[in-house]
Amino acid sequence: MARTESSSSARAASAHHLDRRALLTGGAVGVGLGGALGALGTLAGIGGFGDIGGFGKPDAPGISGEDRTFGADTLPCHGTHQAGVTTAPGAHIRFVAYQLRPEVDATALQRMFRVLTGDIEGLTSGDSPLADPEPELAARPAGLTITVGVGPELVNRVRPNECPKWLAPLPAFSRDQLGGGYDGGDLLLIVQADDTMPIAHAHRMLHRDLLGFAEPLWSQQGFRTARGADESGRTMRNLMGQVDGTVNPAPSDDDFASLVWLGADSGWLAGGSALVLRRIRMELDTWDMVDRPGREASIGRRLSDGSPLSAAENKSDEHTPADFGAKNERGFSAIPVAAHIRRAHSVDPSERIFRRAANYDDGAESGLLFACYQRDPLEQFVPIQRRLDEADVLNEWVTHVGSSVFAVLPGFERGQLLGQSLFA
């Protein structure tokens, strides 16, 4: 989606705004390394993160060296679907989960969403939210989007017994190492932009909105290639150096809606989506011990351009279809049986997900924030992850340490409440 420019000036906070906020919020009470290396040698050419999801289409419009000012860019927050799912991904993203306070009921939650709605409209437009003490910080949103998801506990407090089956913790996978503080949540905010300043300011404003209703549970900060730092249309690379997200449905595809957006039969969630967020730690110290052929073999793609190992070198690119029946000069499968892209591949076209991945590096740990959208994680994400869990050479260097599932609320129009269908 193209970015639009906004010249709206920030308005100063007034006593009226402070009084209205107090009125709205006051009543809430608030496999071993050696074995894997040996397998790589035996397989003689294995394949990546790139095929179970990234944004395989152009990430953002290209800009010239003479025009790198994009702070005034705005993206509309209104529409059938929330912004931040199919809009061009920002260079920076923050996922923040909250846990509801025990006393917060449906009435309080409706009041909470009323405050959130107004502030999301203000922050994303550059006009600043209600009672913003620093409206100047909201004046240049840099393509800011704010996406809101809900967990099963929040749904049950408003619509008991109407929580979809998939809105629950994922089935256990044998290689998961969860429990480190990045699991679950009752409410999720996804804040992304091309600059960290509007993200930090928006998070602060929204956090203030939620103080009487919920407590922070966890926060995860991710990043992609900075806007203008790479050619337009180039797929993101992860911290292992791999092109990440080549095979990904595009919003322009005929079957995109049937894969990602929930239909009328989903009741209050019609127009929304199901989000799976996985924190995947990369074991970069041991990854550094693997030579270039071994790295390419583990994924099934070349590091240079992301082309599949089944395709002719220097005569293909990352979008060349992988040929899983192709043989190499030694008679082995060009893309071996334990390659990542082979294990992620499905012959069922409905078993696909729309991925929006981001890298993370918090100083002590690095990896991938694997976010994907679909209609039903049990039918789409889980079968893919089970195959990877069972036999993927890449498992030697990645560990899933966080897992959450949220229902992304439908979009809203001007004058409506975000989450209005939930309270209807």
Q: Region 396-419: what's the mean pLDDT?
A: 98
193 within 8 A of 408, measured Cβ to Cβ: no
pLDDT (0 to 100) of residue 27: 40
| 3-state class (DSSP) for residue 198 | helix
Write the DSSP string, 220-245.
EEEE-SPTTSS-TTPPPB-TTS-B--
With tokens 């009323």, the residue in question is: 114
264 within 8 A of 270, measured Cβ to Cβ: yes
pLDDT (0 to 100) of residue 70: 82
Characterise 45 by phi-psi region: left (phi > 0), alpha (psi -120 to 50), beta (else): left
Question: Is residue 33 predicted with pLDDT exceeding 50?
Answer: no
Distance, in Å, from the CA atom of 223 to the CA atom of 232, rounded to the nearest integer, reads 17
Distance, in Å, from the CA atom of 416 to the CA atom of 424, rounded to the nearest integer, reads 12
* Burial class of 278 by CB neighbour count within 10 A (0 to 12, 13 to 18, 19+): buried
Question: Is residue 231 predicted with pLDDT exceeding 90?
Answer: no
pLDDT (0 to 100) of residue 67: 52
Question: Is residue 1 predicted with pLDDT exceeding 60?
Answer: no
Q: In 10 A of CB 213, how many CB atoms?
A: 25
Position with higher pLDDT, 162 vs 57: 162
Distance, in Å, from the CA atom of 131 to the CA atom of 180, rounded to the nearest integer, reads 36
Query: Which band of pLDDT confidence, cut at 50, 70 and 90, is reported for residue 128?
Result: confident
Q: What is the DSSP letter of 266?
A: G
pLDDT (0 to 100) of residue 32: 41
- % pLDDT > 90, the chain: 77
Distance, in Å, from the CA atom of 169 to the CA atom of 303, rounded to the nearest integer, reads 34
Which segments within 138-261 are labelled E, that is strand?
145-150, 187-193, 214-223
23 within 8 A of 16, measured Cβ to Cβ: no
Tell me which residue of 241, 158, 209, 155 sits closest to 30, measured CA to CA: 209
Q: Region 166-176: what's the mean pLDDT?
A: 97
With tokens 């209104």, the residue in question is: 78
Quick one: tokens of 245?
Answer: 């997200």
Residue 312 φ then ψ, to 5°: -65, 135
Q: What is the dihedral of CA 170, 175, 178, 183, to 10 degrees?
A: -30
pLDDT (0 to 100) of residue 229: 83
Q: What is the pLDDT of residues 61-118, one digit of tens each?
A: 444 444 557 899 999 999 999 999 999 899 999 999 999 999 999 999 999 999 999 9
pTM of the model: 0.85
With tokens 């994907």, the residue in question is: 372
Question: Is residue 21 predicted with pLDDT exceeding 60?
Answer: no
* Burial class of 342 by CB neighbour count within 10 A (0 to 12, 13 to 18, 19+): buried
Question: Is residue 15 predicted with pLDDT exceeding 50?
Answer: no
Write the DSSP string, 40-66.
HHHHTS---GGG-----S--S----TT
pLDDT (0 to 100) of residue 227: 82
Tell me which residue of 173, 194, 299 sits closest to 246, measured CA to CA: 299
Q: What is the pLDDT of residues 282-324, one digit of tens each?
A: 999 999 999 999 999 999 999 999 999 999 998 899 999 999 9
Q: What is the DSSP letter of 296?
A: H
Quick one: tokens of 58?
Answer: 């152009």
Distance, in Å, from the CA atom of 197 to the CA atom of 402, rounded to the nearest integer, reads 26
Mean model confidence pLDDT for the chain: 87
Q: In 10 A of CB 391, how many CB atoms?
A: 12
- Contact partners, residue 408, CB within 8 Å, separation at least 6: 82, 85, 147, 148, 149, 272, 273, 274, 275, 373
